[in-house]
Amino acid sequence: MFLRSFLILSMLALPVGVYAQSESSVEVPSIEEAKKVISYLYHGKEGIFLIDIKLCQEVPTARGSENRFGCVEELKSGNVLAGETVMVWMHFFAPNNTKQQVILIYKRGLTPKGARNLNIGGGPRYRAWRKFTPDKAGKWEIQVVFEPEEGDAIMLGRLPVQVQ
């Protein structure tokens, strides 16, 4: 129960993209905050945070690639064409030595158009990506949902996408 409350409060306090701040604007955490995060990282059993989600032109995976597993050429909403394949890139934070599952849901308007399960490993820098090929123009939304062993599913993040 504590972890679930912690996750929900943390999601409200830290919106997606909070870690994209410039280095000069980042506050040093208190000792208590640092201890809490380290304890969660090494001893947590369940729970996951979506730190960032964005659309990318590509994600390099070859060894030695510049920006390996990173987002290359971020696309802004409205720059995606119907029928074009782009990458949905995500950065997660989860306890070490865990494997957890999230669901990536693609919707156009109110209509679900597809879903993909993602297995997420633990650690402070776990990145994942999936291809996204919208079939029609319109307002799309990509949702990232975590379904814990017990309790209700938790919406980790949403990415609105305007497709031309």
- Residue 70 is predicted with a pLDDT of 92
Distance of CA 117 to the CA centre of its chain: 13
Cβ neighbors of 39 (< 8 A, separation 6 or more) are: none
Closest CA to 10 of 39, 33, 26: 33
Neighbours of 76 (CB within 10 A): 10
2-163 to CATH, choices 2.60.120.1440, 3.20.20.80, 2.60.40.10, 3.40.50.300: 2.60.40.10
Backbone φ, ψ for residue 129 (5° rounding):
-155, 155
105/142 Cα distance (integer angstroms): 6
According to the model, what pLDDT value does residue 23 have?
56
Which of 54, 112, 44 has its CA nearest to residue 79?
54
* Rounded Cα gap, residues 133 and 111, in angstroms: 15
**Domain residue limits, the chain:** 2-163
Q: Which residues pair with 29 in a beta bridge?
A: none
Digitized pLDDT (tens) for each residue of the chain, 164 residues in all: 334 434 433 433 343 444 444 456 889 999 999 999 999 999 988 888 999 999 999 999 999 988 899 998 999 877 899 999 999 999 999 999 888 899 999 999 999 999 999 999 888 889 999 999 999 999 999 999 998 888 899 999 999 999 99
Q: Contact 129/46 with Cβ under 8 angstroms?
A: no
Three-state SS sequence of 36-70: HHHHHHHHCCCCCEEEEEEEEEECCCCCCCCCCCC
